Amino acid sequence: MSIAATNAPIGQSERRTKAKRLVTGRGRYTDDVTARRVLHAAFLTNPFAHARILSIETEEAAGLPGVERVFTGPDIADACNGWTGNHDLFPKLDSPQQYPLAVDVARWQGEGVAMVVAETRAIAEDAAALIDVTWEELPAVADPVANLEPGATVLHPGKSDNLALELRLGTDAVDAAFERSTLVLEESFRFGRHTGVPLETRAILAEFDPSEQRLVIHQSHQAPHQQQELFARLLDLDEQNVRIVCPDVGGAFGIKLQFSGDEAAVAVAARILGRPVKFVADRLESFTSDIHARDHQVSARMGFAVDGKITALEVDDIYAIGPYSIYPRASIMEGNHVMQLTAASYTVPAFRGRSRIVYQNKGLMGHYRAVGQPLGCAIGEVLLDRAARKLGVDPVEIRRQNYADLSAGPVTSSAGVALEGLVLHECLDTLVERMDLPELRAEQTRLRSQGRYRGIGIAGFIEQTGPGPNYYGKGGIPVSAQDGCVVRLEPSGKARVFSGATDQGQGADTAAAQVVAAALGIQADDVRVTLGDSEVCPYGGGAFASRGTSIGVEVAWRAGRRLRSQILELAGALLQCDAEALDLRDGQVIELATSQARFSLEDVARIGHFRPYELPEGFQPMMSAVEHYVPRDKPTVVGNGIQGSYLEVDVETGIVSLLNHWVVPDCGFVINPLLLDEQIRGGVVQGIGGALFEELVYDDQGQLLTATMADYLTPMAAEIPDIDVTRIEKPMGDKTLGAKGVGEAGTAGAVGAVLCAINDALVPLGAGIAQTPCTPARILTAIEQARNE
C-alpha cells in the first residue's frame, strides 16, 4: 500500500506519518519505531598527507550485521553540491572545488574517504576498518616555504604553483625610511599551528522528513542561520525547510564556525536513508579535521630614530593554510591581521606588508579565537622591546612615545586600520600601576644576582570586534552582520526573548536576560532566553569576532526598550494619561511623579492578551517587540588593551614558570563584570597555550605527530598564574549600550606578553627567541646558540 493508493483525504500530520512508514533502508519497508531510531556514522579517513584513490572495496563492510549503508566520496558528491572557499573582495583567490568526502584524491591526513552508517557507533567503526582502499601515495606538499619555490610539486592540477593568494599593503616609500633610520631591527618569527580543543567536540544529528522535504539538524556550531543557508544551498533544499538548532555549545572558539565535509555527509545520509544520523567527532578526528590556525612564518623589520620613534615597518608573512581555502569564510583574515595589526596602536610613518597564502597537505585553516591579532601584537611588541634595549630607552616609555595620536580625532594607521576612541595611555598607565613595575624590576635585578632569570613582558593590542556587513556581505559570503531579537511579554508579566545570537559558554543568554530585565523593570530570573534555533529565532550572525555583546546584547536592549514603550502606552491608555508620565519598576507600572504603583506588569499583560475590550476603542495592544541591529557605520568596532606577564625561566631545563599576569582591556559599558572578567581570563589561558604549549606538529611527509591529548599539550590549572583584570570602561557612542566586545581580548595580547617576558628573562644570557610555542627545547637551543656566538 502506498499513500497514493489511499482514497480518503488525509491531513498534513497523517501524511507525514504514512510517509515515514515508507522510508527505506535497503529497499525494505520500515515501521515508525525503526524510522525514528538514530543511526550512527563513522568515517574512514586518509592515512596519508596526499594520495590518489585507485579503488574502494566496501562489500565486506556493507555486509556486517547492523550496517545500514556504506557511502564513498562519489556517492555523497552525487547528492551534494560542491563548494569553494572564495571571497569576492579577493577575486584572485581561486580555491579548488571541494566535496564532503574525497572523490579522486585525498589531500590531508584525516580527510574523509568513506562513511559507514550503522545501528551503533561501534558497529560503524568496525565496518569502516573492513573497507579496503587501494592508494597511490603522492608527494607531500608540506613545507610552505619550499612550496613556493620553482619546481615544487603543485598540489592542484591546472594551477601553476601553490600560491593561493598574495596580499600587499603600503608603499615602497618604506625603503627610504629605513635608509634614514638610526636603528633597523630584523627578526624571523615562526608561529606554530594549533587548534581550539573545545571540551565538546564537533557533533551533528540530522533528520530528514521526505514528506515535507524538511531537514532538521542539531549541531554543535556557532552560526545556525549560516548553516541553514549552506545546507539548503548544497543539498538543493528550500531554505525555509531547513532548521538548524545549536543549543548550549560546550566551547567553540571559532573552531565551529565553518562548514565541515563530514557533517555535510551526515546530512546527505539522513536524507537518503530517511532516518536520523548522528556523528560526534572523537578527539583524534578533532585534531586532524577541526579547523587549524596560526601557521605563519613572518620576516619583519622595524626602523627607529635615535630617540626611539618608529620610522618604518615591513612585514612579510607566509601563511600556510591547508589544501583548500576554508568554506564559507575563506582562509584570508589571519594573513590580513598579521599585516594590519602589527604595531597597529603605534604611529608608523612608512609601512609595507605582504602576505602569501600557501596551499599545503595539512588540515584546513580557519578562524581561531582572535584570528591573527595575537601574532601581529607579538611581532610589534618583541621588536619594540629589542629597540628599547638597543637604544637604552625604557620599554614603557618607548611605547608611550610611539602611541598613535588621537587627540585631534580618529586616525587611520598606515596599514589601513581605523583607530577611534582608544584609551592607549590610560591602559598603559593602569597596567604599570597594577604591576607595581618598579618593584618588579627591583626584584628581577636582585634575583638575577642569585642566578635566577625572571622576565617582564608588556604587550599592547588592538582588537577588531563586531564586524559590519562590508567584509562578508560584499564578499558574497552568506554571513549575517546583523542580529535580530524578539521580546515577548507573557500573561504572567514575565518575558521571553528569542535572539539571533548564540552561546558557547560566554554568557550571551545571561547578558541578554539582564538588559531585557532592566528595560522592563523585572528580575533577570523572570526572563527566558532562547538562542540558536534558526526556526524560531530572528535571523542573526551567531557568535564570532566578539560580537555577542556589541551586537547581540545591543539588539536585545533595543527590543526590550521598544516593548517597554509599548507596555507604557497600553498602561497610559488604561489610566488615560501620557505614557511619558509612567515607568516600569520591580514588576509594577508606576507614576513617575509620585512613584505610586498603579498596575502590576502581570495585570497589564493579562489585559493586553485576554481583555483588550477594556482598552479604548481602536487601541491595539502590542505584547511583543522585534528589533534588528547591524553596525553599518564602521567595518568593525575597534578596541584596545594591554597585558603584562611576569615569569621565570629555568636556564638549566628551559621550563617557564608563569608567576603573574595582568590584563587592562578597554571594554566600554560593562553589563556583567563577572562574565567579562572570566571571558578575558579564559582568553589569556588560550593565549598562554599558544605561547608555551600548543602545537600541531607534522613531519616532512605531512603526518600529524601530535594527535592525542598526551602529545598535544594544553595549559592546565597548575600552569596558570593569577590573572589580574582591571577594566577601563569607556562607553562607545551615546545611542547604544556602549559595550565593546572583549571575548578575544585575553588571547590577543597574551602571546606577545609572554614572549616579551621570556626574551626579557634571557637578556643577561644574550639569548632570544622568536618561535612559539616557546618549548623548553627551543629555549635551551636559544641559550646554547647565544653561548656559542
Say if residue 458 is in the same domain as residue 487: no
Q: pLDDT averaged over the chain?
A: 93
pLDDT digits (tens, 9 = 90+) for 365-387: 999 999 999 999 999 999 999 99
Same domain, 724 and 650: yes
Cell digits of residue 679? 571571558
Do 639 and 625 lie in one domain? The reply is no
pLDDT mean over 299-308: 97
**Cell numbers linked to 772:** 612559539
Is residue 154 within 8 Å of residue 139, measured between CB atoms?
no
Q: Report the amino acid identity of residue 617.
A: E
Give the DSSP letter of residue 692: I
Domain contains 698: yes
Q: Which of 8-17, 49-58, 311-320, 368-377 has the lowest mean pLDDT?
A: 8-17
**454 lies in the same domain as 565:** no
Taking residue 498's Cβ as centre, other Cβ atoms within 10 Å add up to 21
CATH at residue 644? 3.30.365.10
pLDDT at 9 over 50: no
**pTM for this model (two decimals):** 0.94
Work out the pLDDT band at 90, boundaries 50, 70, 90: very high
Helices (H), 449-553: 469-472, 508-520, 547
- pLDDT at res. 182: 98
640 pLDDT higher than 70:
yes
Q: How far apart, in Å, do the first and last CA atoms of the chain sit? A: 87
* 726 and 680 within one domain: yes
Q: Are residues 585 and 497 in the same domain?
A: yes
The model's pLDDT over 456-488, given as tens digits with 9 standing for 90+, comes to: 999 999 999 888 898 999 999 999 999 999 999
Q: Are residues 624 and 639 in the same domain?
A: no
The region of weakest confidence among 133-137, 150-154, 212-216 is 150-154
Domain membership flag for residue 237: yes
Residues 446 and 497 in one domain: no
Report whether the peptide linkage leading into residue 731 is cis, meaning its omega lies within 30 degrees of zero: no
Q: What whole-number distance in Å separates Cα of residue 339 and Cα of residue 316?
A: 8
Mean pLDDT of 103-120: 98
Rounded CA-CA distance 107/323 in Å is: 6
- State mean pLDDT over 145-153: 93
My answer on whether 13 and 81 are in the same domain is no
Residue 498 shares a structural domain with residue 555: yes
684 Cβ contact list (under 8 Å, min separation 6): 643, 661, 663, 723, 746, 747, 750
Q: Do 512 and 553 form a contact (C-beta atoms < 8 A)?
A: yes
Residues contacting 357, CB < 8 A, separation 6+: 93, 163, 164, 165, 166, 167, 319, 321, 325, 331, 332, 335
- Report whether pLDDT(13) > 50: no
Q: How confident is the model at residue 248 (pLDDT cuts 50, 70, 90)?
A: confident
Average pLDDT over residues 726-732: 90
- Average of per-residue pLDDT across 525-554: 95
Residue 732 pLDDT: 76
Residue 475 lies in a domain: no
Res 427 pLDDT > 80: yes
Which pLDDT score, from 0 to 100, does residue 80 have?
Answer: 98
pLDDT at 651: 97
pLDDT given at position 636: 84
Q: Which residues contact 332 (CB under 8 A, 6 or more apart)?
A: 87, 90, 93, 165, 167, 325, 357
Residue 403's alpha-carbon distances to 121, 425, 664, in angstroms, are: 57, 8, 16
Residue 283: phi and psi, rounded to 5, are -65, -35
Q: Which residues contact 413 (CB under 8 A, 6 or more apart)?
A: 340, 344, 348, 351, 404, 419
Give the pLDDT confidence of 155-208 residue by residue, as tens digits: 999 999 999 999 999 988 999 999 999 999 999 999 999 999 999 999 999 999
H runs (alpha helix) in 629-742: 673-688
Residue 251: φ, ψ to 5°: 90, 145
Q: Is residue 347 part of a domain?
A: no
Task: State what percent of residues in the chain have pLDDT above 70.
Answer: 95
Let me know if residue 144 belongs to a domain: no
Q: Indicate if the pLDDT at residue 293 is higher than 80.
A: yes
| Ordered strands of the 242-245 beta sheet | 67-72, 112-118, 39-45, 277-280, 203-209, 214-219, 242-245
| Final residue of a structural domain among 268, 289, 310 | 289
**Among 629, 652, 670, residue at a domain's last position:** 629
- Asked whether the beta carbons of 701 and 763 are under 8 A apart, the reply is no
Question: Is 378 a domain residue?
Answer: yes
Q: Is residue 491 situated within a structural domain? A: yes
Alpha-carbon distance of 264 to 327, in angstroms, equals 12
How far is it, in rounded angstroms, from Cα 125 to Cα 142? 29
Cβ neighbours around 709 below 10 Å, total: 12
Q: Which residue has the cell 617582564?
A: 456
pLDDT for the residue numbered 35: 61
Question: Taking a C-beta distance cutoff of 8 angstroms, is the pair 98, 324 a contact?
Answer: yes
**pLDDT at site 32:** 55
Give the pLDDT mean for 521-535: 98
Lowest mean pLDDT among 584-588, 624-628, 638-642: 638-642
pLDDT digits (tens, 9 = 90+) for 337-346: 999 999 999 9
- The yes-or-no verdict on residue 527 having pLDDT over 50 is yes
Residues 144 and 356: their CA atoms lie apart, in Å, by 10
Residues 116 and 236 in one domain: yes
Full domain range(s) for residue 20: 3-27+482-629
Q: Residue 31 pLDDT more than 80?
A: no
Does one domain contain both 64 and 85? yes
* Residue 319 DSSP SS3: strand
Distance CA 307, CA 255 (A): 44
Span 133-157, average pLDDT: 95
Q: What's the pLDDT at 15?
A: 31
Q: Are the beta carbons of 621 and 612 closer than 8 angstroms? A: yes
CATH number at residue 125: 3.90.1170.50
CB 774 within 8 A of CB 692: yes
pLDDT band at 617 (very low <50, low <70, confident <90, very high): very high
Q: What is the mean pLDDT of residues 244-251?
A: 93
Instruction: Please tell me the total count of domains within the chain.
Output: 3
Q: Please, what sign has the CA dihedral across residues 412, 417, 423, 427?
A: negative
CB 687 within 8 A of CB 645: no
Predicted pLDDT of residue 736: 77
CB neighbour burial string for 185-211, b if at least 16 within 10 angstroms, e if fewer: beeebebbbbbbbbebbbbbbbbbbeb
pLDDT of residue 199: 94
Coil, strand or helix: which one is 242? strand
> CA–CA distance from 262 to each of 43, 74, 637 (Å)?
8, 14, 34
Q: At what angle do helices 395-402 and 373-391 cross, to 10 degrees?
A: 120
Residue 16 has pLDDT above 60, yes or no: no
Q: Give residue-wise pLDDT tens across range 700-726.
A: 999 999 999 999 999 999 999 999 999
CB 32 within 8 A of CB 17: yes
Confidence bin at 34 (pLDDT 50/70/90):
low
Residue 21: pLDDT over 90: no
- Give me the pLDDT at residue 734, please: 52
pLDDT tier, 735 (very low <50, low <70, confident <90, very high otherwise): low
240 lies in some domain = yes
Residue 4 has pLDDT above 80, yes or no: no
